[in-house]
């Protein structure tokens, strides 16, 4: 045993120098003391009122409830942190993780019966709950395209409401024979902004309605490395496309802390082109009576990484439809899929 117990430690690479137990015991003692302080305070405050109701000290009011709230928060914070600290001191991270995963496996086994362990692979339940018209599954489109439309609608409504109030004020001044020229000039500037935001909103709305929804169906899920799959693409709306392309794309996603912010970074790491049929003689045209339909083929290489998800990191695979139509900005819609390793199925 070391002759002197070191109270302070230094981080040396991935390990800490010093006696690791001292820090843990100190932290547990602090939170234990906080818990005791909360208990003692709450007991004194409440028992004072019960046993000495005639006393004028700490009568129920703002001060009384403040003391009760503070004491309760001390109890909750102290007890939670004390239990966490003790569990971290008594069990290594590996032991805690093993206990947690054992409990989780037991729960899954009871709920779903004996199954191979598919931890850290995305669940298929949300991907396979929608049957397709032509192929087995219809993939769900990832939300996010309607966000700009929603934001523009909110902004346009708020801005136009502000302009309406200013216009009413200006009109009132004008009727009373005392026009406010500063307000009038301000109103002109606000009207210009209002014109552009309203145009932006209607442009997005028209684009959304004109290009129409996209449906993608697939014959099997999960995807396996080396497998060949049939895809069916159906594009609704009233548009003639210059180009329409389907790809299977893999993204790495990581969540990390930067200062006090939690950030997520996403990076495309692999793109597999999906084989498309030949473009028809009349071109890639979708109209409300006859949507654009295409049968495609997806061939996966053998050396691709499977989908993966954990608390801070993920590898996600998506089928991405990218289109380019005259008069419209290019559009992109993505459909989540799951790639499993061959040995997991």
Partner 1 sequence: MAIVLPKFPRSRLSPQRRLTRRTEPALGLSLQSLQAGHEPCDVLELEYRVHRVAPAEVDQLEVSVMWYTEGKGGEDFGVHYFQSLSTDELRSVIDDQPRQLSVRLPASPLSYEGSLLKIRWCVRLRLYLLDGRKVSAEQPFYLGNLTVEV
Q: List interacting residues with partner 1 (CB under 8 A).
A: 1-2, 19-21, 92-95, 97-98, 101, 116-121, 252-257, 265, 267, 269-270, 303-306, 308, 310-313, 315, 340-341, 343-344
CB of 92 to partner 1, least distance (A): 6
Q: Which residues are 255's β-sheet partners? A: 264
For partner 1, give the closer residue by CB, 8 or 182: 8
Shortest Å, Cβ 116 to partner 1: 7
Min dist CB 125 to partner 1, Å, is 18
Which residues neighbour 83 within 8 Å (Cβ) at sequence distance 6 or greater? Answer: none
In whole angstroms, how close is the CB of 307 to partner 1 at the nearest point? 9
Handedness of CA 43, 45, 48, 50 (dihedral sign): negative
Given the complex with partner 1, which of 265 and 289 has the nearer CB atom? 265
Residues 6+ apart with CB under 8 A from 81: 27, 31, 34
Q: Which is nearer to partner 1, 54 or 265 (CB)?
A: 265
Q: Which is nearer to partner 1, 152 or 307 (CB)?
A: 307
Min CB(334)–partner 1 separation in Å: 19
Cβ nearer to partner 1, comparing 1 with 188:
1
User: What are 125's strand-pairing partners?
Assistant: none
242 Cβ partners below 8 Å, 6+ apart?
284, 324, 325, 326
How is 59-89 classified by DSSP, letter by letter? -TTHHHHHHHHHHHHHHHHHHHHHHHHHHHH
Q: How far apart are CA 7 and CA 18, in angstroms?
A: 7
CB of 226 to partner 1, least distance (A): 12
H/E element, 49: helix 20-51
Taking the least distance from each CB to partner 1, the nearer of 98 and 191 is: 98
For residue 249, the minimal CB distance to partner 1 (Å) is 13
Distance separating alpha carbons of residues 171 and 12, to the nearest angstrom: 72
Our CB check for partner 1 shows the closer of 19 and 328 to be: 19
Helix boundaries (H) for 113-180 = 147-175
Beta-ladder partners of 29: none
Q: Is the bond preceding 150 in cis, omega lying within 30 degrees of 0?
A: no
């Amino acid at each position: 045993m070391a002759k002197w117990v070191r109270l302070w430690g230094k981080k040396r690479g991935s390990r800490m120098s010093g006696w690791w137990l001292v820090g843990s015991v100190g932290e547990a003692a602090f939170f234990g003391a906080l818990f005791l302080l909360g208990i003692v305070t709450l007991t004194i405050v409440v028992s004072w009122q019960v046993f000495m109701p005639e006393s004028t000290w700490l009568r129920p009011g703002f001060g009384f409830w403040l003391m009760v709230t503070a004491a309760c928060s001390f109890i909750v914070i102290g007890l939670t942190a004390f239990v966490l600290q003790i569990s971290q001191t008594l069990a290594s991270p590996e032991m805690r993780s093993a206990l947690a995963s054992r409990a989780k496996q037991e729960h899954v086994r009871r709920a779903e019966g004996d199954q191979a362990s598919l931890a850290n692979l995305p669940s298929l339940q949300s991907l396979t709950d929608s049957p397709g018209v032509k192929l087995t599954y219809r993939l769900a489109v990832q939300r996010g395209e309607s966000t700009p439309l929603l934001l523009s609608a909110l902004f346009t409504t708020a801005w136009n409401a502000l302009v309406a109030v200013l216009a009413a004020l200006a009109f009132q001044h004008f009727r009373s024979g005392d026009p406010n020229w500063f307000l009038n000039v301000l109103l002109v500037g606000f009207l210009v902004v209002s014109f552009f935001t309203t145009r932006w909103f209607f442009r997005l709305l028209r684009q959304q309605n004109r290009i129409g929804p996209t449906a993608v169906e697939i014959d099997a899920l999960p995807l396996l490395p080396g497998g060949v799959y049939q895809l069916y693409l159906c594009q609704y709306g009233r548009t003639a496309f210059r180009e329409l392309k389907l790809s299977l794309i893999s993204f790495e996603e990581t969540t990390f802390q930067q200062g006090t912010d939690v950030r997520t970074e996403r990076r495309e790491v692999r793109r597999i082109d999906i084989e498309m049929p030949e473009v028809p003689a009349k071109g890639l045209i979708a109209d409300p009576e006859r949507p654009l339909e295409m049968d495609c083929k997806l061939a996966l290489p053998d050396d691709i990484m499977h989908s993966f998800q954990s608390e801070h990191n993920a590898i996600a695979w998506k089928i991405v439809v990218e289109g380019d139509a005259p008069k419209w900005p290019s559009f992109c819609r993505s459909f989540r899929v799951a790639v499993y390793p061959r040995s997991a199925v």
